[in-house]
Copies of this chain bind each other. A is one copy, B any other.
C-alpha cells in the first residue's frame, strides 16, 4: 500500500548524525561524530542513590500520572540553580516547563510559533536537529551572517526589519557545531534588537556549564532581558545523564503556558519518576563538583585534540580553540568536501560529522565537527592521526591536480 503522508514529512529526514552513529556504533571505528558525553564519567552512583531515595519514600503516588508542567520541587530547584549559576531571575514557578529533553523544548516552541512560511533566524552553522524541527513545521529558516563573536548586528537588524521573523534561534555559549561563544556586546545587541522589532529569542544552552576557562563569565541572554522576549532552555543530558530525557524551558508566561498545552497533546508529561530522582540528585549530590570534574576532563581531551591537529600541519586547516562545550569545528582547504570524504575516513577507522547539514544558508563544504568528550586522550591521538592521514592525502591529490 502507498501511504498518503502529510506534506510536512517532506522535511523529516533521519539526521546525518544519527544515521552515522548507527553505522559507526557497530564497528571498530573511532567516532568523533556523536554529541555524546562520556558514559564512564556519568554520576552513576549519584543517580542510583537518587532513585533509591524516591523508592525509599515508598509512595505509590510517585508512580502516578503527574502535572504537565513538571514536578514542582524540581522546577523550584532549577529556578534557584539558574538564578545562582546564571543570574536568570525573571521567571516564576509558572514560567518554567519540564520537557522530555531540551529537544522537546525546541519542538514544542516551533509547534506553537512557526506556521508554513514563517521566518526564523539562526546562526550559520547551527544545531542540525533544530533546523530539522523548524523545517518540519514548514518554516522559512534564514541564516544571519555571523563571525566568531556572534551574529553581525547590521545583518541581524536588516533581516529583522525586512523579514519580520517570528523568532531568533541561538546557541550563544559553546555552540553546536562551531564551539563558539558570543561576546557580551553582541548578546546585548541581540536582546536590544529583539525588543525593538518585537521578536522572540530562543536561547538554547545545553553546554553552558561545561566551561574550561574559570575566570570568564558568559551571561545568558535570559539574564539580559526583562522576562518578556527570551526563552531559555537547558537540560540534564550534558551535566548529569541523557537517558532520563529531562530538560527545562523558562520564558514569558503566555508562551510557557501555550507550550504546556502543546506538551499535553504531545506526551501528557515528562517521566515523573526521573523528575523526582533528578530533584534528589540536585538536593543530595554535589552536582557542581561533578560538573567541575567533567569540565576538567573534557578540557584535557580538547587540549589533546587541539595539540594533535596543530602538530599535523595540515595545509589550509583552521579552527577556534573551544572555551567549553563538546565540539571542535574545523575549516579545511576549500578543495576538500567533507561529506564526500566521510566514507573514506570511516574506512580508515575514524568518523566525524560533515559541516554541510549544520548550515541553514549556503554550506561551507570544507568544514567538519569533531566531538572530543566521548573518547580518551589515547583514542583522540589515534583517531586524529587516522583523520589527518585521509585529509592530507586528499589535500595533496587536489593540490597536485590543481598545479
Q: Shortest beta-carbon distance, A225 to chain B, in Å? A: 11
Which residues of A30-67 have CB atoms within 8 Å of chain B's CB atoms? 34, 36-37, 39-42, 44, 47-48, 51, 55, 58-67
* Of listed A107, A118, A267, residue having the most chain B CB within 10 A: A267
Is A228 part of the binding interface, using a Cβ–Cβ cutoff of 8 Å? yes
Please name all residues of chain B whose beta carbon is closer than 8 Å to the beta carbon of A228 when the two chains form the complex. 1
Which of A42, A229, A237, A245 has most B Cβ within 10 Å? A245
A61-82, CB under 8 A of B: which get 1 and which 0?
1111111100000000000000
Task: Report if A179 contacts B (CB, 8 A).
Answer: no
Q: Name the residue on B nearest A66 (C-beta).
A: B243
Known A36-B64, A55-B51, A115-B7; judge A243-B264 contact (CB<8 A): no
A243 interface neighbour in B36, B39, B51, B62, Cβ under 8 Å? B62
Tally of chain A residues near chain B (CB < 8 A): 82
Measured in the bound complex, the distance between the Cα atoms of B136 and A258 in whole Å is: 12
Q: What is the CA–CA distance of A63 and B243 in the complex, to the nearest angstrom?
A: 5
- Interchain CB contact under 8 A, A63 and B42: yes
Q: Is A315 an interface residue (CB 8 A)?
A: no
Q: Does chain B have a CB within 8 A of A336? A: no
Known: A42-B63, A60-B39, A103-B267. A9 touches B112 (CB 8 A): yes
Cβ–Cβ contact B36 & A60, under 8 A: no
Q: How far is the CB of A321 from chain B (nearest CB, A)?
A: 26
Which residues of B sit under 8 angstroms from A402, Cβ to Cβ? Answer: none
Contact B15 A258 (CB under 8 A): no
Contact of A267 among B62, B104, B273 (CB under 8 A): B104
Q: How far is the CA of A346 from the CA of B112 in the complex (A)?
A: 33
Residue A156 is within 8 A (CB to CB) of chain B in the complex: no
Contacts of A44 in B (CB 8 A): 55, 58, 60, 63
Contacts A15-B264, A65-B34; A111 near B8 (Cβ below 8 A): yes
Please list the 7 inter-chain residue pairs (A to B) with the smallest Cβ-Cβ separation, ordered nearest first: A39-B60, A63-B241, A6-B115, A63-B243, A100-B267, A243-B272, A48-B55
List the interface of chain A (C-beta within 8 A of B): 1, 3-9, 12-15, 18, 22, 34, 36-37, 39-42, 44, 47-48, 51, 55, 58-68, 100-101, 103-104, 107, 111-115, 118, 129, 132-133, 136-137, 166, 198, 200, 228-229, 237, 241-245, 252, 254-255, 258, 260-262, 264-274
